[in-house]
């Protein structure tokens, strides 16, 4: 009893007519199940819709008792229908009642039926409901009948996603697709943002589902697949990718999927059954995604991103849409949602409209997190699958302090967070009132507070926050947002504007720190590396490609004419590297002097201490440099051999642990011994608890993001450094029993009334 030849196409044509009729949602759904039952010669056809309470409600049926509609329901995992929903897979049984998961519902009258075929109703891999057909006879449904059900389930999924079926549910119920969700992740940037979802790589909405001309759609699909394969092959054949590495591994995964006959055959079959080429790709993508999400094998789950990216690329190819992030005007309260993104990509958006950032990946010291914090954008990362859970325009709340995201929040939750935003605004106003007060501790120690910066738009924060200057100006950000290497004139103009805007306050420039995870898209000489964080980057590039460093040094010298120039070099691993960089600066200074250019009034050169090998040359180093800065982010990751971009390791080691605090104390003690000014400009300095400890270790200069200045200064004004130092330093001595130093410091703050909450 199989459907007639051409049945899927005939059914889709009839369903299109039903979708166009001016009838109620219930009437439309009733007609759909009638058409499906007729097409596959089934005595029963039923639709179950997933509600927000994790219950599947019978929403329409032909063949079961009419009074069961909206009365019969099953929890996810209960009965055959619940089993399909929990596993997102088809179930084809000749004798359903003999299956151990069968659950008898007497109000339906289904005890007389034996054959059972059920398919999940999916959209973007998300479970929305279950579509079922049944017969009295014992039979196994054929492949074409399974395909018919899967294809029509896609159309029902669009009805559910559009919200058209919500009024049909029992009073007080809502669709699961509209369910409020609380998602737990990791806070990567403090603050609270309320707004609406903007997808960094927006899903293309496939509106044309049913084909008018099947042969034409088959041809379009074939041509698009061929173009896709050629583009992937072309990327893999490029000389700069002719090596091993993570980027090539991703492309190899793309090629594996692009040439997979099973994937292509499923799409071709969907087109033959009457779907458009785009709808066929989306259907197979959704089915595959649902299965892969439920895999326990971590390798298969990781390959899901590769498969999704390729399927989305194919849909864009078919629809003539460009690849890349969202274009056009943002809403005024945009919350960007992405799997991950580069720091430079954030600058493509209008900063004034971004209220938050949500990432599936990300780590506290990843560069996107650092840049977002410098822009005072709340960030939450490590929320698996969030891109699939959101829809464009969904209301969303980002809590960067607690590391949570509230998707489609209830009104009372939204009101509570709106009050939290107002409270933070009042607190920030209190911090602004402190901006003119010197940051002197209760026992008289002055701690200089500086800003980390990297763009001209950061400069207004210098005055607003009351910081004493810029302790770290990341010059590479100008290179990362450009489409080609900035010319010497462009660099000089930026550096001069920075110095002028600082109004006489000190500015410390860091020479170009590219490489690692900051590869410039227009720099063809950069190669993929097995371990880029410890590879060809920062001063290593500057010394190996001296033309690049010379141009930057020349621009800095010209920009600082008549002023003080403070320049430090990153990733210095031994004193000889600093000496070579110092000699390069001297040559450039003499060159400009011969040409008659005005030079800086004073030139002070320093290094960033972030490679552990330098700790064994501190005496030699401090005898040569004018100043130094501790780059605690890299120093910490190298000290613990813990990649700062690896989300599995991001919380494994504590920078307030004994070995790292001993390391920081050693650096500070040596700097004091040689009377060399020392600043700490990593993420530690911007957190009140860690800043307390740094002050106790002897650090008197801290550089941080503008949003951290207020909380840190508020803490310092109430801190008795001597008391904390007396408690902390003995615990760093050898032979002491192991202790949770973070807990000890927090207890001290509570006891002494020191504010440590941002």
pLDDT tens, 87-130?
Answer: 888 999 999 999 999 988 888 888 889 999 999 998 867 889 99
Structural domain range at position 711: 434-752
Q: Establish whether 90 is a catalytic residue.
A: no
pLDDT tens, 349-379?
Answer: 888 889 999 998 877 666 677 778 777 899 9
460 part of a folded domain: yes
No. of helices (H) and no. of strands (E), the chain: 26, 22
528 pLDDT higher than 80: no
The active-site residue, picked from 45, 200, 406, 681, is 681
Note whether 528 and 502 are same-domain residues.
Answer: yes
Question: By 3-state DSSP, what share of the chain in percent is helix, strand and coil, each rounded to 5?
Answer: 50, 15, 35
The pLDDT assigned to 298 comes to: 52
Q: Which ranges in 238-347 belong to alpha helices (H)?
A: 246-258, 261-272, 277-293, 298-319, 343-346
Note whether 52 and 131 are same-domain residues.
Answer: yes
pLDDT tens, 16-50?
Answer: 888 888 888 899 899 999 999 988 889 999 999 99
Note whether 663 and 731 are same-domain residues.
Answer: yes
> 5 falls in which pLDDT band (50, 70, 90)?
very low
2 part of a folded domain: no
Note whether 333 and 312 are same-domain residues.
Answer: no
Per the model's pLDDT, the better-predicted residue between 754 and 228 turns out to be 754
- From CA 272, how far away is CA 274, in angstroms rounded? 5
Per the model's pLDDT, the better-predicted residue between 519 and 117 turns out to be 117
Contacts of 250 by beta carbon, 8 Å cutoff, 6+ apart: 306
Note whether 414 and 538 are same-domain residues.
Answer: no
Note whether 404 and 418 are same-domain residues.
Answer: yes
The pLDDT assigned to 244 comes to: 42
The pLDDT assigned to 343 comes to: 66
Q: In what order do the strands lie in the sheet with 354-359?
A: 181-184, 404-407, 395-399, 192-199, 334-338, 354-359, 379-381, 186-189
The pLDDT assigned to 96 comes to: 92
707 pLDDT higher than 50: yes
pLDDT tens, 720-756?
Answer: 999 999 999 999 999 888 889 999 999 999 999 999 9
Per the model's pLDDT, the better-predicted residue between 494 and 11 turns out to be 494
The pLDDT assigned to 16 comes to: 80
Contacts of 334 by beta carbon, 8 Å cutoff, 6+ apart: 195, 196, 198, 349, 353, 354, 355
246 pLDDT higher than 80: no
575 pLDDT higher than 60: yes
Note whether 163 and 251 are same-domain residues.
Answer: no
pLDDT tens, 576-616?
Answer: 999 999 999 999 999 999 999 999 999 999 999 999 999 99
CA 384 distance to own-chain centroid = 10
Residue 381, classed as helix, strand or coil, is strand
428 part of a folded domain: no
Note whether 305 and 408 are same-domain residues.
Answer: no
Note whether 469 and 539 are same-domain residues.
Answer: yes
- From CA 516, how far away is CA 519, in angstroms rounded? 7
pLDDT tens, 467-507?
Answer: 999 999 989 877 776 667 889 999 999 999 999 999 999 99
Note whether 656 and 519 are same-domain residues.
Answer: yes
Note whether 16 and 162 are same-domain residues.
Answer: yes
Where does residue 707 fall: left (phi above 0), alpha (psi -120 to 50 degrees), or beta otherwise? Answer: alpha
757 part of a folded domain: no
* Angle (nearest 5°) at CA 505 between 463 and 557: 125
Tell me 402's DSSP state: T
Q: Domain containing 143 — which CATH number?
A: 3.30.450.40
> 517 falls in which pLDDT band (50, 70, 90)?
low
Note whether 416 and 457 are same-domain residues.
Answer: no
Tell me the three-class secondary structure of 140-161, residue by residue.
CCCHHHHHHHHHHHHHHHHHHH
**Residues 111 and 92 sit within 8 Å (Cβ to Cβ):** no
515 pLDDT higher than 90: no
- When the pLDDT of each residue in the chain is averaged and rounded to a whole number, the result is 85
The pLDDT assigned to 691 comes to: 97
28 part of a folded domain: yes
Q: 28-39 b/e with 16+ CB inside 10 Å = b?
A: bbbbbbbbbbbb
The active-site residue, picked from 45, 200, 367, 461, is 367
Residues in the chain: 758
Q: What is the DSSP string of 640-653?
A: TT--TT-TTTTTTS
The pLDDT assigned to 293 comes to: 61
User: Which of 99-103, 235-239, 243-247, 278-282: highest mean pLDDT?
Assistant: 99-103
Q: Establish whether 200 is a catalytic residue.
A: no
258 part of a folded domain: yes
- From CA 732, how far away is CA 665, in angstroms rounded? 9
How many domains does the chain contain in total? Answer: 4
Q: Domain containing 671 — which CATH number?
A: 3.20.20.60
Q: Domain containing 263 — which CATH number?
A: 1.10.274.10
pTM of the model: 0.60
**Residues 229 and 259 sit within 8 Å (Cβ to Cβ):** yes
């Amino acid at each position: 009893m199989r459907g007639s030849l051409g049945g899927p196409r005939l059914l889709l044509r009839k369903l299109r007519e039903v979708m166009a009729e001016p009838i109620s949602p219930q009437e439309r759904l009733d007609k759909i199940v009638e058409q499906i039952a007729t097409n596959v010669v089934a005595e029963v056809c039923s639709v179950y819709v997933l509600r927000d309470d994790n219950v599947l409600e019978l929403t329409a049926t032909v063949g079961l008792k009419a009074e069961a509609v909206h009365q019969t329901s099953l929890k996810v995992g209960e009965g055959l229908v619940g089993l399909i929903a929990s596993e997102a897979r088809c179930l084809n049984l000749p004798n359903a009642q003999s299956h151990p998961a069968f659950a008898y519902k007497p109000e339906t009258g289904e005890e007389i039926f034996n054959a059972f075929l059920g398919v999940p109703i999916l959209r973007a891999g998300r479970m929305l409901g279950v579509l079922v057909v049944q017969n009295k006879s014992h039979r196994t449904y054929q492949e074409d009948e399974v395909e018919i059900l899967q294809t029509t389930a896609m159309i029902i999924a669009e009805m559910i996603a559009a919200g058209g079926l919500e009024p049909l549910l029992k009073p007080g119920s809502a669709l699961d697709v509209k369910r409020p969700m609380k998602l737990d992740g990791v806070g990567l940037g403090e603050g609270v943002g309320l707004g609406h979802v903007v997808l960094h790589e927006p899903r293309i909405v496939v509106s044309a589902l049913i084909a008018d001309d099947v042969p034409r759609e088959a041809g379009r699909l074939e041509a698009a697949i061929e173009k896709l394969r050629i583009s992937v092959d072309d990327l893999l054949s490029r000389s700069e990718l002719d090596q091993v590495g993570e980027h090539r591994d991703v492309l190899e995964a793309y090629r594996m999927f692009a040439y997979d006959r099973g994937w292509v055959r499923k799409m071709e079959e969907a087109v033959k059954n009457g779907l458009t080429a785009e709808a066929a790709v989306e259907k197979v993508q959704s089915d595959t995604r649902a299965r892969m999400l439920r895999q326990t094998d971590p390798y298969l789950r990781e390959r899901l991103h590769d498969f999704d990216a390729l399927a989305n690329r194919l849909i864009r190819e078919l629809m003539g849409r460009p690849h890349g992030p969202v274009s056009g005007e943002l809403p005024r309260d945009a919350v960007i949602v992405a799997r991950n993104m580069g720091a430079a990509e954030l600058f493509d958006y209008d900063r004034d409209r971004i209220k938050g950032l949500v990432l599936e990946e990300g780590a506290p010291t990843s560069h996107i997190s650092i840049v977002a914090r410098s822009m005072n954008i709340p960030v939450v990362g490590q929320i698996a699958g969030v891109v699939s859970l959101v829809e464009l325009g969904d209301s969303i709340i980002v809590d960067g302090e607690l590391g949570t995201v509230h998707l489609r929040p209830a009104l009372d939750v939204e009101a509570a967070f709106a009050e939290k935003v107002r409270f933070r605004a009042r607190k920030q106003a209190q911090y602004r009132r402190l901006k003119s007060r010197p940051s002197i501790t209760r026992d008289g120690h002055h701690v200089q507070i500086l800003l980390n910066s990297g763009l001209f738009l950061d400069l207004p924060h210098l005055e607003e926050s009351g910081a004493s200057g810029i302790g770290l100006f990341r010059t590479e950000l100008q290179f990362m947002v450009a489409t080609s290497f900035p010319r010497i004139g462009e660099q000089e103009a930026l550096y001069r504007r920075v110095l002028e805007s600082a109004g006489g306050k000190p500015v410390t420039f860091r020479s170009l720190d590219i490489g690692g995870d900051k590869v410039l898209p227009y720099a063809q000489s950069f190669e993929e590396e097995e371990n880029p964080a410890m590879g060809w980057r920062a001063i290593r590039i500057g010394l190996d490609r001296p033309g690049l460093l010379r141009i930057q040094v020349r621009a800095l010298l010209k920009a600082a004419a008549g002023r003080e120039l403070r320049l430090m070099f990153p990733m210095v691993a031994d004193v000889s590297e600093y000496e070579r960089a110092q000699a390069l600066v001297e040559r450039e200074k003499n060159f400009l002097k011969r040409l008659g250019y005005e030079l800086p009034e004073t030139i002070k050169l320093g290094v960033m201490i972030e490679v552990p090998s330098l700790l064994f040359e501190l005496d030699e180093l401090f005898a040569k440099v004018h100043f130094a800065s501790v780059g605690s982010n890299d120093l910490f990751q190298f000290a613990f051999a813990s990649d700062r971009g690896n989300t599995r390791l991001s919380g494994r080691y504590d920078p307030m642990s004994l070995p790292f605090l001993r390391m920081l104390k050693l650096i500070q003690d040596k700097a004091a011994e040689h009377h060399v000014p020392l600043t700490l400009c990593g993420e530690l300095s911007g957190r009140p608890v860690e800043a307390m400890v740094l002050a106790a270790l002897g650090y008197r200069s801290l550089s941080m993001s503008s949003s951290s200045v207020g909380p840190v200064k508020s803490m310092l004004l109430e801190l008795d450094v001597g008391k904390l130092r007396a408690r902390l330093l003995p615990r760093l001595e050898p032979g002491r029993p192991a202790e949770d130093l973070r807990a000890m410091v927090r207890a001290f703050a509570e006891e002494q009334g020191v504010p440590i909450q941002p």
